[in-house]
Chain A
Amino acid sequence: MEKRIRVLVAKPGLDGHDRGAKVVARALRDAGFEVIYTGLRQTPEQIAEASLQEDVNVVAMSLLSGAHNTLFPKVVNLLKEKGMNDVLVVGGGVIPDADIPGLKQAGVAEVFTPGTPTANIVDFIKSNVK
């Protein structure tokens, strides 16, 4: 039996800045994860459905446009509706500190803001993935 951590890296929202997401995707690959990279401007519905089809353990979303309070919780809820109850959802991007507690309450396990070393993200996933 050969379990491998699968992570969907997605960019919800309308901003076109995916450099951060690509850096994270690469770091996760180098950590031995299988990274499904879905690219820019994904709707929450697309992210949740792709997560189901790919049976991922982790959904990692990057967002820089300020819509995180709407879009991150929406993905969390859609995943639950689809029966994906054991998925670890993490977020990153330009996210004000004041918004982080609310996001965590909504089911986002952790939020990584600019300047986070990629090793921290890898470690967090390794210790929290179900």
Chain B
Amino acid sequence: MDIAGELLAGSRLALSRAITAVENEYDEAVSIMQRLYSHTGKAHVIGITGPPGAGKSTLTDKLAKAYRQQGKTVGIVAVDPTSPFSGGAILGDRIRMNELTLDEGVFIRSMGTRGSLGGLSRKTAEVVRILDAFGKDVVFVETVGVGQSEVDVIKAADTTVVVLVPGQGDDIQAIKAGILEIGDIFAINKADRDGVDRLATELEMMLDLNQNEVDWRPPIERTVASQGSGIAELLTTIDGHICFLSQSGHLTRRRTDRTRNELLALIEEHIGRYVLQQLSSWGQLDTLVSRIEKREKDPYTTVSELLHMYLRY
């Protein structure tokens, strides 16, 4: 099966198989991505992040439906945690999106984190790119339920929506670093509950203290996703952000940063794998480890010798 070719011709099965190949690092993954890369860069990638139970999936479902009404096609990558013990996972985000399953303009893929701790899996950004190459106008990336520091979503998304719910902590939470810094937009979901005004005030105060990015002040929207209220306003705000990004030049800058980071990460990954392969094929790794343990050698000298040996550095 010519996966990349059939994907570009519109086959959903090929799209699905391409994602599997990349996620599982099958041999053909590299050649698939090589073929697809020139078709990427067109989709608007929207990150949806926030604590567990904030309503990320329901909100994504409603936003996706709103984009469909505008005639745009939608891809959704939904990440849920992998068990560190069994390696298994329950991927349950689709439950909130079942009505989208039979819409041919929507493609939803669930992923386990498979050991990554940043709120996404290591391959999520590449899966987003595959959906982009398939021609999706909008791609949502829904993170696992996050705490404070899982901020990988900004590496994959153009616009990051941080979904919060009232009643989850005092105003000290709002000045901590982490997910509250990455929101381009804040959505206060379940806004029919008590404490909405207080949360909005705390966020506004936090935003008042922001020194950088004075040209975009993250708007705060109130939604009740389960009832569909506030969705149209949130959508307008998201579209406003992408307009701002492209007009101000930030989009180019963000994407350049991302391209650079991805290239560096890829170099790191491949060099690491190459050196590890060399070490394992010679059975050297255990010897080196035991010499370091016995303090006959230090790890720093060992690494510089290895670099010299394998990379002529």
Knowing A54-B110, A84-B13, say if A38 contacts B25 (CB, 8 Å).
no
The interface residues of chain B lying within 8 Å CB-to-CB of A94 are: none
Which residues of B have CB within 8 Å of A1? 24-27
User: Are A83 and B13 in contact (CB-based, < 8 A)?
Assistant: yes
Interface residues of B in 50-92 (CB under 8 A from A): 82-83, 86-92
Evaluate contact between B25 and A36: CB separation under 8 angstroms.
no
Taking a contact as CB atoms under 8 Å apart, the answer to whether B98 and A42 are in contact is: yes
Is A112 an interface residue when CB atoms closer than 8 A count as contact?
no
Closest to A47 in B: B101
**Within 8 Å CB of B89, what residues of A?**
29, 34-35
Residues on B with beta carbons closer than 8 Å to the beta carbon of A130: none
Q: Which of B101-140 contact A (CB under 8 A)?
A: 101-102, 107-110, 112, 114
A45 at the interface (CB under 8 A from B): yes
Summarize B's interface: helix, strand, loop or mixed. Answer: mixed
- Does B176 reach chain A (CB closer than 8 Å)? no
Select which of B19, B25, B91, B102 is within 8 A of A46 by beta carbon: B102
- Interface size grouping (class) on chain A: 20 to 34
B24 touches A3 (CB 8 A): yes
Q: Is A29 a contact partner of B101 (Cβ separation < 8 A)?
A: no
Answer whether residue B12 sits at the interface, using C-beta atoms and an 8 A cutoff: yes
Complex formed: what's the CA distance from A52 to B109 in Å?
A: 10
Q: Are A37 and B95 in contact (CB under 8 A)?
A: yes
- Residues of A with C-beta under 8 A to B17: 55
Which residue on chain B has the smallest CB distance to residue A57?
A: B20
List, in ascending order, chain B residues with CB within 8 A of A50's CB.
94, 101, 108
Docked complex Cα distance between A53 and B110 (Å): 9
Contact of B101 among A32, A46, A82 (CB under 8 A): A46
Contact at B24–A53, with CB atoms within 8 Å?
no
Q: Within 8 Å of chain A (Cβ to Cβ): is B237?
A: no
Q: From B25, B91, B101, B112, give the contact of A37 (CB < 8 A).
A: B91
Residue of A nearest to B89 (CB): A34
Given A29-B88, A53-B12, A53-B108: 4 more A-B contacts, CB < 8 Å: A2-B114, A30-B86, A49-B101, A50-B108
Residues of B within 8 A of A (CB): 12-13, 16-17, 19-20, 24-27, 82-83, 86-92, 94-95, 98, 101-102, 107-110, 112, 114
